[in-house]
Amino acid sequence: MGELLGQMIEVDVTNIAHGGVSVARHDGRVVFVSDAIPGERVLARITDDKKKSFWRAETVKVVTPSEHRQEHVWSAASVDRDPDNRAGGAEFGHIELSHQRELKTQILSESLERMAKVTLAPVVEAVPGDDERKGLGWRTRVSLHVDEHGNVGPFAARSHRVIPVADLPLATPELSAGAPLDQNFTGFDRVDVLNPSTGGVRLIIGKQKPQVITETVGEREFTLLDSGFWQVHHGAAQVLTSAVQDAIDPELFDPAASNLDLYGGVGLFAAAVGDKFGPATKITSVEAESAATDHAAQNLSEWLGAHAETGRVDHWLRQHLKEATATERARLDKATIILDPPRSGAGREVVDLVSRAHPAQVVYVACDPVAFARDVAFFAERGYELSSVRAFDLFPHTHHVEAVGTFTRK
């Protein structure tokens, strides 16, 4: 293995795969090709031949372009550049925007069908205003890395090589204007640039002490640390708030039940539930990061029945179920549970614990279609079926897609 690295092959691209790459075949072998579109013929350079079952390759030249190919929205990531010098983070930028969403719909639908035998096919919805902006100007958070000479930039696609760039077209105009792309940061590894809802653009350089920032969703304010998690798209928090509210079946919702917001962060979705069902709604937000829990407690303080607890979700659930009285079990039986796990998904153990709580419904916010589909299958094994699902294009010009699904007991 390794003797084929750098070799050029000409291939016909037939399908899209999860992870922002397309699928081709060469002498019967599967080849995952970056910067290509299904339907194209491309000249590609082999970058990984370690696996017997497949290779990886990067498009060097488009021989027969797709009708959906466009000039890349970011010149720093264009196919005109050598693959080693292409900026990462905009791997779908060469694809017309509406076709990007068709491909994401296909990936989510195929994942659900293959892994969970579910035939729901949610159409990926655009965030309002994104089409008018051509899918640009949405990122409120950008991580820039620093090379050995102090230059800043994104990593190259699929590597840790820093690529100096002149612009950040996916970032909000304010963030773009404030990003220190031409400054030297020798001695540091990374510079994070933030454009919160309030307070203007800010930089996080090295290990500086985190500061409190405020994000707004509609007329509601949320405090958090600038080093903490918040949705990257400037419209995502509002879109997901509405989607979670709509995903809850009001016929199954009991405000007096032991409702849970797991992986609750700073309380965004617990607040969404409280806003929809009233200030007496009982809901507990569970989050492993103690600083986030502190802010969740503050952000949820107006809801009498809301509170926040610090704990790893699996540990907290296991202990909670172990200590639950008959009354608490009855309240869990009527509960609505919100799940917003990291990209790796909830996983078998957490799905098992949630199912043992026997809630009336589960609303799952997913940022990875394959992890979500795997967990859909786990829930099905435990008597919960995916009754509805929506998908949202919260990351235009990348392969990422968000889904919000509702599970109910069979």
Active site residues: 367
- The CA distance from 328 to 325, in Å, is 5
Note whether 185 and 149 are within 8 A (CB).
no
Nearest C-alpha neighbor of 170 from the set 226, 124, 216, 232: 232
The answer to the question of whether 294 is labelled as a binding residue is no
Exposure b/e, 212-233, CB count within 10 A at least 16 = b: ebebebeebebbbbbbbbbbbb
The answer to the question of whether 80 is labelled as a binding residue is no
Q: Cα 287 to chain center, whole Å?
A: 18
Note whether 255 and 277 are within 8 A (CB).
yes
Read off the amino acid at residue 224: L
- The CA distance from 252 to 279, in Å, is 18
**Region of residue 134 (left: phi > 0; alpha: psi -120 to 50; beta: else):** left
Read off the amino acid at residue 222: F
Strands 402-409 and 384-393: antiparallel
Q: Distances from the Cα of 379 to the Cαs of 216, 340, 363, 373, 410, in angstroms?
A: 34, 15, 12, 10, 10
Strands 402-409 and 361-366: antiparallel
The answer to the question of whether 275 is labelled as a binding residue is no
113 Cβ contact list (under 8 Å, min separation 6): 119
Element (H, E) at 138: none
DSSP state of 40: -
CA-CA-CA-CA dihedral for 21, 24, 29, 30, to nearest 10 = 30
The answer to the question of whether 340 is labelled as a binding residue is yes
- The CA distance from 303 to 379, in Å, is 30
Exposure b/e, 33-59, CB count within 10 A at least 16 = b: bbbbbbbbbbebbbbbbeeeeebbbbb
Binding positions for S-adenosyl-L-methionine? 231, 263, 287, 340
Binding positions? 231, 263, 287, 340
